[in-house]
Chains A and B, each alone.
Chain A
Amino acid sequence: MKIASVEAIPIRAPMRPGDVYWGNQTWGKNKDAKIAAAGLPPDEDRSEYPHLWRSRAAYSRSVDTTLVKITTDTGIVGWGESKTPVAPNITATVIRELLAGILVGQDALTPALQWDRMYGAMRIRGHAQGFWIESISGIDIALWDIMGKALGQPICKLLGGPFRDRVKLYASGIPGVRHGAPQEAWDNLRVAAADVKRRGFQAVKVAIGLSTAGDIRTIEILRDAFGPDFTIFTDAAMMYDVPQAVEVGRALERLKVGWLEAPLPAEDIEGYARLARALDIPIASDLIFNRWQVRNLLVAGGVDVVQPDVCRSGGITECKRIAELADAFHKAATPHVSIGSIIQFAASAHLAASFPNQAVMEFWFGANPLGDPIAREPLKLVDGYLHVPMGPGLGIEIDETKLRQYEV
């Protein structure tokens, strides 16, 4: 069975009027005065240390992603997704200009071999992170979808068999509030907590990293709102330096927070190691981009929970290897699942089902035009658990007409 065609589909789907992605509310650059009052301080203020603006991310106001459609000469169609929260046409260009030529004509049932061929094509140029690996991720997922469809099995069965048929979720996320924000922003935290509980989740993640005082107050309010037994995780999007992370980490330990995610810049492996030694709270990281980069973090002892993103860290093939590498270090793994389509959610569910060391999985619960609306059957979410779709391949059926309406 040969790969006949590889298509990259850049997607831009509008959010519901008024909706802003939770990460954007906290860490983006917002013109919306109400959101800006609660999020990162203005870019122009470069006198405070550490400099939050040095980690400020670009965000889109729509749901942006790049979908990959691979067709075999026998007519099987596989779907994949490359994470592109901004500027999806960049990734689509990489796939069209470089990767399609590597794949067409190759045996479709060789995802691991194709992974090596793809990675090798830019390896001596050091493209080990970023657009290149994100592009490879989308293709790899599509090849696994084809493999499953060709063999009539869900992907998790082909990864050695699932350890579980449902995956425990945490809802992401609740945007944190900056020190000095108006009272309304603090009151909104309780509204957000009630919303998460009402949806049946048993765990939640909160975006922090805005200021140590504001971050601690945010979690104090949420701990009070959720009660003592609810699981709360935190994500600092690498905004701290080590002393700040220790200060906040100590407070989070007192507040029984489940983990502190991405406290420091990804480049600071030694800082992660120092932090993990200093704190009792588990250190998580979604700043995971290939197995060698994770290995350095694991050898240094800088992380307790490894969170590869299936659409960013190399697809099914590489994320499975990353989880098993973490397991060799006696560390937990769980898919990072941020903004994206139902393909991301399904692929992540198969990985989570197959990880021996699976922790709680992330789930973006915002109104998602690319979630259930582009599939023939909705995902099954019950009491804060995602049931792994057990049809062949990804186990979902894509309604191509519906997704094409958002094609850029």
Chain B
Amino acid sequence: MKIKHIESFIVRAPIDSNKVYWGAGYWMADPNQHPGLPDGHPGDITTEYPPIWRLRPIYTRDLSCVVVRIETDTGLVGWGEAHTPVAPEASKAVIDALLAAIVLGRDPFDIQPIWENMYSSMRMRGHSTGFLLEAISGVDIALWDLAGRALGVPISTLLGGRMRDRIPVYASSLPRVHARSGEAGYQGLVSLARSLVDQGYRAFKVKLGIDIEQDRHSLRVLRQAVGPDVRIAVDVNGAYDLAQARLAGRMMEEEGAYWLEEPLLPENLRGYADLAASLQIRVVAGECLFNRWQFNDYFVAGAVDAINPDVGRAGGISECKRISDLADTYGIPFSPHVSIGSAIYMAASLQWAAAGSNLNMCEWPMDASAIGNGILKQPFQFEGGAIRLDETPGLGIDIDEDKLRRWQVGATA
């Protein structure tokens, strides 16, 4: 069996008619403006420390990703996805211009050698993070899907067998409440949290990270609303320096938060190590780390208590399984990071989660999306705060290709 054809295409779907992605609503100065860093925004040159514009990401107003479709000479098809919250054109170009030639003609079961060939193509140029790894992730997931379908088993079986059929998930994510939104803002937060618990979630994540006392108030109203047994994880996306992170971490310990995610900027390995040593609350990082070596540096330094690698970013199922196994060697659990993407990406996260011995829980987008259940013949089976997996081969989903192609950029009708 040989790989005969590899296709990549961009998918863009609306989030909802009147919503913006929670991350975008959080960071963009004006969510109604076009994606990107608004020009002349007063926050650009600031006297605040740390300066927020040094980590203000680009967002778009829709959901985008790059879907990879690999077909063998026997007519088997595998689906993969590269995580591309912005500029999917870049990752598509990587797949088409660089990776396709490496993959074509190969035995699709050569997943490991193909991964090494893709990685080595730019290794001496230091492309161990970023677009290359995201593109590799998409190809790798498609190869695993192919292998599973070829043998009639789910990917989790090929990864050494399932540890569990139910994957505990946490809802992601409640937006940060601005002080200026007043009591109404907190009420909105409370009703969102209650609706999650009513749906069956036993854990959710909230975005915090500007003012410590304001954040304390958010945690208190949330705890009051959901009771003592629901996990409230906190994500601040690198908003602090070390001293602030210590203070904020102590506050979160007092308020019973479950973990503190990305307290510092990703380059600050030493800061992470100092923080993890001084805080009791779990220090979590990993959504912007790539490859086993980056994670290993964090483990050796004692910089994290838990990790959340992204299967569409860190190197696909192959690399993420290696990373979570490596984490287990250090006694560290993992929680797949799942943000903007389609059902392919969500399913790949679940298959990996099912096979990892040290799974904590899996992130799960709390909003329905046109490219989530919307592209599946059977929706994900959510029950009691977990997703139940059945024996469907490969990624474990049945993709309705017509529905998926509806969102393909540049598709001919």
Q: Tell me, yes or no, whether A binds B.
A: yes
Given contacts A98-B58, A124-B55, A124-B262, contact A296 B129 (CB under 8 A): no
Q: Is A402 interfacial (CB-CB < 8 Å)?
A: no
Cβ contact within 8 Å between A57 and B290: no
Cβ contact within 8 Å between A128 and B266: yes
Given contacts A27-B124, A57-B121, A287-B124, contact A130 B53 (CB under 8 A): no
Write the nearest CB–CB distance from B96 to chain A, whole angstroms.
9
Q: Is A399 interfacial (CB-CB < 8 Å)?
A: no
Cβ contact within 8 Å between B36 and A101: yes
- Of the residues B40, B51, B54, contact of A105 by C-beta under 8 Å: B40
- Of the residues A98, A106, A292, A312, contact of B87 by C-beta under 8 Å: A98
Cβ contact within 8 Å between A97 and B125: no
Q: Is A345 interfacial (CB-CB < 8 Å)?
A: no
Chain B residues with CB under 8 Å of A267's CB are: 128, 291, 293-294
Which residues of chain B from 249 to 299 have any CB-CB distance to chain A below 8 Å in the complex? Answer: 262, 265-269, 287-291, 293-294, 297
Q: Is A94 interfacial (CB-CB < 8 Å)?
A: yes
Q: Is B313 interfacial (CB-CB < 8 Å)?
A: yes
A194 vs B279: C-alpha distance when bound (angstroms): 63
Chain B residues with CB under 8 Å of A94's CB are: 87, 90, 131
Chain A residues with CB under 8 Å of B122's CB are: 57-58, 86, 130
Contact with A along B67-90 (1 / 0, CB 8 A): 000000000000000000111011
Write the nearest CB–CB distance from A295 to chain B, whole angstroms.
8
A56, A94, A124, A293: residue with the most chain B Cβ atoms closer than 10 Å: A124
Q: Is B127 interfacial (CB-CB < 8 Å)?
A: yes
A175 vs B23: C-alpha distance when bound (angstroms): 49
B37, B45, B85, B291: residue with the most chain A Cβ atoms closer than 10 Å: B37
- Nearest opposing residue in chain B for A58, CB measure: B121
Chain A residues with CB under 8 Å of B85's CB are: 125
A124 vs B56: C-alpha distance when bound (angstroms): 8
| Total number of A residues with any Cβ neighbor in B under 8 Å | 60
A89 vs B94: C-alpha distance when bound (angstroms): 9
Which residues of chain B from 298 to 314 have any CB-CB distance to chain A below 8 Å in the complex? Answer: 300, 313
Write the nearest CB–CB distance from A225 to chain B, whole angstroms.
27
Cβ contact within 8 Å between B93 and A90: yes
Cβ contact within 8 Å between B87 and A296: no
Q: Is B123 interfacial (CB-CB < 8 Å)?
A: yes
- Of the residues A55, A105, A113, A237, contact of B39 by C-beta under 8 Å: A105
Contact with B along A73-107 (1 / 0, CB 8 A): 00000000001011101100110011001101110
- Nearest opposing residue in chain B for A52, CB measure: B120
Chain A residues with CB under 8 Å of B37's CB are: 101-102, 117, 121
Chain B residues with CB under 8 Å of A289's CB are: 126
Q: Is B160 interfacial (CB-CB < 8 Å)?
A: no
Contact with A along B25-65 (1 / 0, CB 8 A): 00000000011110110001100000101111110000000
Band of interface residues on B: 35 or more
- Of the residues B93, B117, B124, contact of A87 by C-beta under 8 Å: B93
Q: Is A328 interfacial (CB-CB < 8 Å)?
A: no
Write the nearest CB–CB distance from B410 to chain A, whole angstroms.
14
Chain A residues with CB under 8 Å of B297's CB are: 269, 296
A171 vs B125: C-alpha distance when bound (angstroms): 20
Cβ contact within 8 Å between B120 and A129: no
Given contacts A90-B90, A98-B90, A106-B39, contact A125 B127 (CB under 8 A): no
Which residues of chain A from 261 to 309 have any CB-CB distance to chain B below 8 Å in the complex? Answer: 262, 265-270, 287-290, 292-293, 296
Given contacts A90-B90, A130-B122, A312-B125, contact A121 B57 (CB under 8 A): yes
Cβ contact within 8 Å between A54 and B120: yes
- Nearest opposing residue in chain B for A101, CB measure: B36
A292 vs B40: C-alpha distance when bound (angstroms): 29
- Of the residues A56, A86, A125, A130, contact of B120 by C-beta under 8 Å: A56
Cβ contact within 8 Å between A129 and B126: yes
A52 vs B115: C-alpha distance when bound (angstroms): 15
Cβ contact within 8 Å between B123 and A266: yes
Cβ contact within 8 Å between B90 and A131: yes
Given contacts A125-B85, A268-B293, contact A131 B98 (CB under 8 A): no
Write the nearest CB–CB distance from B250 to chain A, whole angstroms.
24
Q: Is A182 interfacial (CB-CB < 8 Å)?
A: no
A237 vs B89: C-alpha distance when bound (angstroms): 30
Which residues of chain B from 87 to 127 have any CB-CB distance to chain A below 8 Å in the complex? Answer: 87, 89-90, 93-94, 97-98, 113, 116-117, 119-127
A110 vs B17: C-alpha distance when bound (angstroms): 38
A122, A125, A269: residue with the most chain B Cβ atoms closer than 10 Å: A125
Q: Is A370 interfacial (CB-CB < 8 Å)?
A: no
Given contacts A94-B87, A125-B57, contact A130 B93 (CB under 8 A): no
Chain B residues with CB under 8 Å of A97's CB are: 86-87, 89-90
Chain A residues with CB under 8 Å of B130's CB are: 122, 126-133
A313 vs B120: C-alpha distance when bound (angstroms): 19
Cβ contact within 8 Å between A296 and B124: no
Cβ contact within 8 Å between A237 and B124: yes
Which residues of chain A from 202 to 242 have any CB-CB distance to chain B below 8 Å in the complex? Answer: 237-238
Cβ contact within 8 Å between A122 and B58: yes
A106, A129, A269: residue with the most chain B Cβ atoms closer than 10 Å: A129
Q: Is B237 interfacial (CB-CB < 8 Å)?
A: yes
Write the nearest CB–CB distance from A300 to chain B, whole angstroms.
10
Chain A residues with CB under 8 Å of B289's CB are: 126
Contact with B along A304-346 (1 / 0, CB 8 A): 0000000010000000000000000000000000000000000
Cβ contact within 8 Å between A90 and B98: yes
Q: Is A123 interfacial (CB-CB < 8 Å)?
A: yes
Cβ contact within 8 Å between B54 and A123: yes
Q: Is B238 interfacial (CB-CB < 8 Å)?
A: yes
- Of the residues A51, A101, A131, contact of B131 by C-beta under 8 Å: A131
Besides A113-B45, A127-B130, A237-B124, 11 more A-B contacts (Cβ < 8 Å) are: A54-B119, A94-B90, A101-B36, A102-B37, A120-B53, A121-B37, A124-B287, A125-B313, A126-B266, A126-B289, A292-B267
A residues neighboring B (CB under 8 Å): 27, 43, 46, 51, 53-58, 83, 85-87, 89-90, 93-94, 97-98, 101-102, 104-106, 113, 116-117, 119-133, 237-238, 262, 265-270, 287-290, 292-293, 296, 312
B residues neighboring A (CB under 8 Å): 34-37, 39-40, 44-45, 51, 53-58, 85-87, 89-90, 93-94, 97-98, 113, 116-117, 119-133, 237-238, 262, 265-269, 287-291, 293-294, 297, 300, 313
What would 14 A/B residue contacts be, using CB atoms closer than 8 Å?
A57-B122, A58-B122, A83-B125, A90-B90, A98-B58, A102-B37, A117-B56, A127-B131, A128-B130, A130-B133, A131-B94, A133-B130, A270-B300, A287-B126
